[in-house]
Structure 1
Amino acid sequence: MTKPMSGKTIPVLEVIEPGLQTTVQDYPGRVGMQSMGFFPAGPVDPLAFQTANLLVGNRAGTAGLEIPQGRFQASFLHDCTIAITGPDADATLNGEPIPGWEAVPVAAGDLLACGIIAGPGYRRYLAISGGIAVPEVFGSRSTFLVAGLGGLDGRALEQADVLETVETREPRVLRRVPTSLRPSYTDHWEIEVLRGPHADPDFFSEEGYRDFLDAVWRCDLSSDRVGVRFNPRRLRWARASGDIAGGHPSNLLDSSYPLGGILAYGDVLTILCPEANTSGGFAVVATVAHASFWKVGQLRPGRDSVTFREVDLAQAAGLDDRLEHALDARNFDRL
């Protein structure tokens, strides 16, 4: 179940200010475990997370840190290379500003400080050359807060925590993501979705599904790594009830849920995030396209709004091609 790190590990970072809920994550997380009740965990914004790792010379899925709201401080205990991705970094090293989306060399004794994200976006990611050295649990180093496993003792980071990295003697190659490949952030998002599996005409009426696409959905303050919840609104269904599954038309006999599924819990919609339930008895009216899921990780609870745009499988595949291009380190600038 638990697999220790291979290779020599060394202390690399001591947490001074852990922020809101900073966790160790890797990508794609704990895959293949849904039948046992585990969603994969991992970063809610896989684009920014993988890019940070590529910038410091790691594999894209190497363990790093997810930092919601951006506030974080740490001192370095060993020379290494770091990269911060996500919304505008507002980060300093020893009091001097450092750029985001760019590899930055650091030395033992350096102090990193990240301020609260003031503008659009919600999560930043910090990668360290060599990766964060925590044991694998069920094939992943990702923190699953709901289950209390993975990461550092299954919890968010706390003050005075010391993280280790795998010692590497690889030569430093500093890279920067060109502006043209960096995602843009906003407080009103358009997110691409595929219809169903429980859409019209069996669950939503045709008018109800059109309402779903036309509406502006406000992110609820209770959103987290389990799900992004939206303020409730009256939905138009194709049936009066769930029959034997329950009294509300969103009810159905239990079935599995997809990551990124948009769940209708009565008249409340929720995007299922990396720590959500794997199954249940409610309709999934649409599913976020794989290449667009990074946007879900940047939705600010209580502030941002969303409209959904339906795409077909061919269009979703085209979005995947664009994502792969953005994650090809050969397209990065060398410093």
Structure 2
Amino acid sequence: MAGTSESSDGAITDVPEATERPVALEVLEPGVQTTVQDYPGRRGLQAKGFFPAGPVDHFAFRVANRLVGNEPGAAGLEIPMGRFRVRFGFHGVVALTGADGARPTLNGEPMPTWEAVEVSPGDMIACGIAKGPGFRLYLALSGGIDVPEVLGSRATYTMGGIGGLDGRALARGDRLHLAAEGVGRTRRLRLPQSLRPGYANDWEIEVMRGPHADPGFLTQQDWRDFCSLSWKVDLNSNRVGTRLNAHRFTWARDSGGVAGGHPSNVLDGSYPLGGINTNGDVPVILGPDGPTSGGFTVIATVVHAALWKIGQLRPGRDTIRFREVDFDEAMALTKHVEYALDPAHLEDL
């Protein structure tokens, strides 16, 4: 607010009006665990005990930002399972990507996904439960959400309670602010149907074996089983990890030796993002809020280009089959993902 002040010599001078950040949105229904995220999160801090956080489905998140003219890493919202409603406080564009079946609306009228739509102050977006296929939705706003950076990122790290809005999921009545450069942006873009990801209830997910696979930890038959069985996604899955059904591997050794009695025990070591951690008989795919280290084998690792699929697995319903790929195929898959993210391939509306 503009005002006046008195200097040391008694002169009265004008005080410039403070520039307030535009209100991006007000949360009317927060959903299950809606969080502010950015991409790629806090990389390089694993040695200090921080997994990167960021979106579980990095592809849908980055596409949403591209559609509203942001850089792929601008802060936006991750909305698991839908059931979400917000009121906007700015004039610009927004985009909703991700899971099917949420029936999003803008001011009560059906709203398209995978394309930008124009909004004005007072407009409301609402979505029901995302019946799928898919599980998570992503909302990007032109300019990006303006929350403080913590350790170089705005991403909410739920395990550590940092980043995002006070390190927590959004609650009814929360207000988020917008980076000023996003106000008034009106260009509308759409991701062509041919470049949109295919969601399913039965997924194929690409992995590379190890670091703890055969022949030192698993038998060759164990590995064949791992890549041929259909794995059920457990209901108790979240951003920390995606639990799968228990399976009794044969193991190539009798015990973990000095690390412990079970063959899945190892001396504590670093865990990779997307690592498939085997705690006894229970495999868990480590998510972006997962533990940075521990004493259990990691029998395979989801390749980067397939990590987005983890974000769309529906707990309690979906199944997975793992497919082993080599380094060259993993890199080719990454190029395919990056092709779809190239702004030159978006359609103007």
Normalised to the residue count of structure 2, the TM-score between the two structures is: 0.93
- Report sequence identity in percent: 58
Amino acid at match of 1:32: G
Is 1:120 aligned with 2:133? Answer: yes
Distance of 2:209 and 2:76 partners within structure 1: 33
- Does structure 2 retain, via aligned residues, the 8 Å contact 1:76–1:109? yes
Is 1:318 aligned with 2:332? Answer: yes
Distance of 1:171 and 1:90 partners within structure 2: 25
SS in 1 for 2:283: strand
Is 1:211 aligned with 2:225? Answer: yes
Amino acid at match of 2:177: E
Amino acid at match of 1:91: P
Normalised to the residue count of structure 1, the TM-score between the two structures is: 0.97
Structure 1: 4+ residue segments shifted above 6 A? none
Q: CA deviation at 1:35?
A: 0.2
- Does structure 1 retain, via aligned residues, the 8 Å contact 2:142–2:185? no
Distance of 1:222 and 1:118 partners within structure 2: 18
Distance of 1:27 and 1:170 partners within structure 2: 24
Distance of 2:34 and 2:327 partners within structure 1: 35
Q: CA deviation at 1:30?
A: 0.7
Amino acid at match of 1:324: E
- Does structure 1 retain, via aligned residues, the 8 Å contact 2:92–2:184? no
Of residues 236, 244, 263 in structure 1, which corresponds to 2:250? Answer: 236
- Does structure 2 retain, via aligned residues, the 8 Å contact 1:193–1:309? yes
- Does structure 1 retain, via aligned residues, the 8 Å contact 2:92–2:185? no
Amino acid at match of 1:326: A
Is 1:78 aligned with 2:90? Answer: yes
Is 1:130 aligned with 2:130? Answer: no
Is 1:40 aligned with 2:60? Answer: no
For structure 2, the 5+ residue unaligned runs are 1-18
SS in 2 for 1:112: strand
Task: Say how many residue pairs are matched.
Answer: 329
Cross-structure match for 1:332 = 346
Q: Deviations over 1:11-61 (max 9, x none)?
A: 120000000000000000011110000000000000000000000000000
Amino acid at match of 1:112: I
SS in 1 for 2:236: coil
Distance of 2:314 and 2:88 partners within structure 1: 29
Is 1:302 aligned with 2:313? Answer: no
1:190-269 paired onto structure 2 within 5 Å: 190-269=204-283
Decide which structure has the larger Cα Rg and report it: 2
Is 1:172 aligned with 2:186? Answer: yes
For structure 1, the 5+ residue unaligned runs are 1-6
- Does structure 1 retain, via aligned residues, the 8 Å contact 2:93–2:185? no
Cross-structure match for 2:7 = none
**Alignment root-mean-square deviation, CA:** 1.0
Is 1:283 aligned with 2:301? Answer: no
Cross-structure match for 1:163 = 176
